[in-house]
Homo-oligomer: A and B are copies of this chain.
Amino acid sequence: METIGQILRNKRHELGLLLRQVSAYVDIDQAILSKIERNERKPTKEILERLAEILKLDKDELMIQFLSDKIAYEIVNEDCANKALKVAERKIKYLKSHPVKN
């Protein structure tokens, strides 16, 4: 199972790009990119989108990896993780079909 960091690093290597080149394009410190690739930090959504651009990765696919990482990370240690996911699924369906007015 590939982490988001591994996906980013693998693709960067495939394209023969250096940390400093990608981080310059994305406009972040290369230390941060290094940490993102080693899953020591999570990218922001904005950073992720620019990474998708320069690394020619599918934005949606990357976003799915990003969100699923976040969710998995925050509940993996809970006994009821799987039940919580199921309920979350129902809640999301419900919320999407019952939009809230502001």
**A18 interfacial contact with B, CB 8 Å:** no
A89: nearest chain-B partner, CB-CB: B85
Category for how many chain A residues contact B: 20 to 34
A7 within 8 A of B: no
Inter-chain contact B82/A71, CB cutoff 8 Å: no
- A75 on the interface (CB 8 Å rule)? yes
Q: Would you mind naming 10 contact pairs between A and B with Cβ atoms under 8 Å apart?
A: A63-B80, A67-B78, A68-B84, A68-B85, A68-B88, A75-B92, A76-B95, A76-B96, A82-B92, A85-B88
* A residues lining the B interface (CB < 8 Å): 1, 60, 63-65, 67-72, 74-76, 78-92, 94-96
